[in-house]
A and B are shown apart, each in its own frame.
Chain A
Amino acid sequence: GNSVTQMEGPVTLSEEAFLTINCTYTATGYPSLFWYVQYPGEGLQLLLKATKADDKGSNKGFEATYRKETTSFHLEKGSVQVSDSAVYFCALSSYSGGYNKLIFGAGTRLAVHP
């Protein structure tokens, strides 16, 4: 079945460091791919998405490219800030009978220190 695997955390970085959080997926067909972020005390927010191969999603300095050949959707940011500290979830959409449900990875906690 469909699944998402992302790197285990926590990831601890200093401010302005480069961030990569790896995400790979298994899916039939052509899923859409997402990164969600959960800041402390808040709900999940969509960070970025890509709907087809080679698409690049970007938002708030974060980027991820839909790589079908490697079934990956790694999240990157060139210079992290303390305010980026959160839990990041990679997800794919699984269309079933025309209806949509999300399949998530286990989440990666990011802690950025000044």
Chain B
Amino acid sequence: EAGVTQFPSHSVIEKGQTVTLRCDPISGHDNLYWYRRVMGKEIKFLLHFVKESKQDESGMPNNRFLAERTGGTYSTLKVQPAELEDSGVYFCASSQDWLNEQFFGPGTRLTVL
């Protein structure tokens, strides 16, 4: 069974540009989470989907970030326009239900120059 996959693995963009990160959860997992680790600090929660609905987006830093999960399958996280402080590693995780273990993808390393 395939694990959580994320694309791209690395992205380098200029300040002001737009970047879209993609996450494919484990098949059948209704719960999908986004986290990020900035500057080698703690990994912080961004938001949580159940199927296509946003259940908790309390961690989204500002309105430059837009997450979607159309059809309840894969999810995208768009940053527009990107700022220097958005650099970091963005992790996606999925779980079968909220009580079960979250399985993480390898992350996307975003560098904003």
Question: Would you call A99 and B105 a contact (CB within 8 A)?
Answer: no
Given contacts A43-B4, A43-B105, A99-B48, contact A89 B43 (CB under 8 A): yes
Question: Bound complex: CA of A96 vs CA of B59, how far in Å?
Answer: 13
Looking at B3, B42, B50, B101, the one whose CB has the most chain A CB atoms below 10 A away is B42
Q: Which residue of B lies closest to A90 (CB)?
A: B42
Taking a contact as CB atoms under 8 Å apart, the answer to whether A43 and B48 are in contact is: no
Q: Is the Cβ of B50 less than 8 Å from the Cβ of A44?
A: no
Which chain A positions have C-beta within 8 A of B91?
43-44
Q: Contact check: which of B41, B55, B59, B107 meets A43 at CB < 8 Å?
A: B107
Q: Which of B4, B99, B102 interacts with A102 by CB under 8 Å? A: B102
Smallest beta-carbon distance B9→chain A, Å: 9
Considering only CB atoms and an 8 Å cut-off, how many residues of chain B contact the other chain?
28
CA distance A104 to B37 in the complex (A): 10
Instruction: Evaluate contact between A103 and B106: CB separation under 8 angstroms.
Output: no
Nearest CB in chain B to that of A95: its residue: B98
Complex: chain B residue closest to A91, CB-CB:
B43
B56 touches A (CB below 8 Å): yes
Would you call B106 and A41 a contact (CB within 8 A)?
A: yes
A107: chain B residues within 8 A (beta carbon): 37, 40, 42-43
Whether the Cβ atoms of B45 and A102 lie closer than 8 Å is yes
User: In the docked arrangement, what's the CA distance between A91 and B62, Å?
Assistant: 24
B-chain residues with CB within 8 Å of residue A69 when the two chains form the complex: none
Q: Given A98-B98, A99-B50, A106-B42, are A43 and B106 neighbors across the interface (CB < 8 Å)?
A: yes
Binding site for B on A (CB under 8 A): 4, 36, 41-46, 49, 89, 91, 96-107
- List B residues at the A interface (Cβ < 8 Å): 3-4, 31, 33, 35, 37, 40-45, 48, 50, 55-56, 59, 91, 93, 95, 98-99, 101-102, 104-107
